[in-house]
Structure 1
Amino acid sequence: MSDNIRATRGEPRVALITCAEMPGLDPDDRLLLPPLAQRGIRAEAAIWDDPDVDWAGYALAVLRSPWDYPTRRAEFVAWTRTVPRLANPADLVRWNTDKRYLRELASAGVPTVPTTWLGPDDDWTLPAEPGEYVVKPVVGAGSLDAGRYDLADAAQRELAGTHVKRLRAAGRWVMVQPYLSAVDTAGETGLLFFAGPDGLRFSHAVRKGPMLVGPDYGVDGLFRPEQITPRTPAAAELAVAERVLAALPSGPDRPLYARVDLIPGPDGAPVLVEVELTEPSLFLGHAPDAADRLADAIAARLD
């Protein structure tokens, strides 16, 4: 290991990658700093698009909160290819930052939320069936540019059509999904996995409450602050998550971390909402020793 990769006293340097709006890291990610220090690893926050950062000087660069990438995805993906030792790797970032990966997972037999995929030039009309639907772009994070619509309401039906047209006019792919009512009752289950000696291992899980409460009006989507509580996943949820990880294009051995978000479908069986391999919140503060388990995974990756 070269001298510039090691800090003083022989400590390896690890970059925790963030964005300019969060230069000091997300509070949850800061929980990782003490256990890394205890393992002799010097962790530093680094902004992904800062031209002065020497990425070659880090023994490992870990994507954590570069949450401004959705409006600059091409630039972000190109940047990942320049970082010598990036977790998760650049090819996974490219695959995972466009939600059309869900089509591949569905084709591989993973149960997913039924989705209509719309390119900028595709013909499409609103579903005739009443019910609630979610409209969102295939490249996005959180509730950015996402909306929830009751198509039985004439005003919301018109807003849903306008939302789709606005995204497509900007050259963006769009996904339209039925809103699963279990979001409001059971909530989503986010299952967190960190790398171990034999691939990704389950660490902990959380319940994620509903966020979207109404239409997107073209400025900011209407959503609630995310409500997070610890959760013990059911055996069926763990089984689906393992199927998701096994179907990743790289297999389950290369990622340093993964978050699999599931929700009960109409029949109560878990279906995949998304698998987060790029910059997911890992909710380290919601499970004992979660930060230590991730610190162990990083230390092993350095070895």
Structure 2
Amino acid sequence: MKIAITGATGFVGKELVKKLAVNHQIVVLTRNVDKARSIFPNNLQSNLEYVSYTPKQSGDWQKQLSGCDGVVNLAGAPIGERWNPSYKQEIFDSRQLGTRNIVEGIKSSAQKPSFLINASAIGFYGTSETATYTEISPAGDDFLAKVCVAWEEEAQKVKEADVRLVIFRFGIVLGDGGALAKMIPPFKMFAGGPIGEGKQWFSWIHIDDLVNLLVRAIEDSNISGTFNATAPYPVTMNQLCDTLGKVMNRPSWLPVPSFALELLLGDGAKVVLEGQKVLPEKTSEEIGYNFQYSELQPALKDIVK
């Protein structure tokens, strides 16, 4: 297949491209072609095509979607930065406008792609220490929930063109990078510990499982709908840090106080300090996906080598 991918140079996108480019032709939509080209190994370059694009603006790049079999839209501004009003707007616009322009490009294609795989996030549900969320749970009402609702609403419009749509609500992705990359250094220095009270839920997924889920959705035309991309056994922050300490043979004894994280991340600290317990019910039942890493300790052992 010929597959266009946005966010292809990001934490998840890089691994997806590497896996898909072995058997498929990949169109990498990127804001920096030279940087993108330098990221991927030489043996894959013959199966990669690079297109310069501006996510929040329509343009000639949209014509490059014509003739593709499908599109995977992973683009969005990172949420692990300090939030101020302008950056919150960037988080929102990069997802809403970025997805709107992808959908417009698909709908206007002379040779229409047959599917759109669109990222979303478990932030859709809001935060809670007590509730359990599945794919049928309603949306929350905080900032990230509103971002996810707007993001998904734009993606849903692709169905007007009779294009198959799959939305994955990503949990916190564990791999060589991302959230774990920020947690490991303090543990290495014997200064690791839970963030905030430690009771908040941490709904995670190993990057290999996330990539495999995306590939399944690409290659199986019977899959459509909205699914949670989270491992079946979420943990609390205390459990996460205890397990990480055991895997690294380090203590988990120095909690990071809430105010310190709020100083660092502003409003963005809410994501880490409040959390949510999310289960992949439809993912297991409708896709029939068997997680390679369903429990945390084997997942961390694979990553922290």
- TM interval, short-chain normalised: 0.3 to 0.5
Instruction: Report which of the two structures shows the higher radius of gyration computed on alpha carbons.
Output: 1
Using the size of structure 1 for normalisation, the TM-score is: 0.34
Bigger helix share: 2
Query: TM-score, length-normalised on structure 2?
Result: 0.34
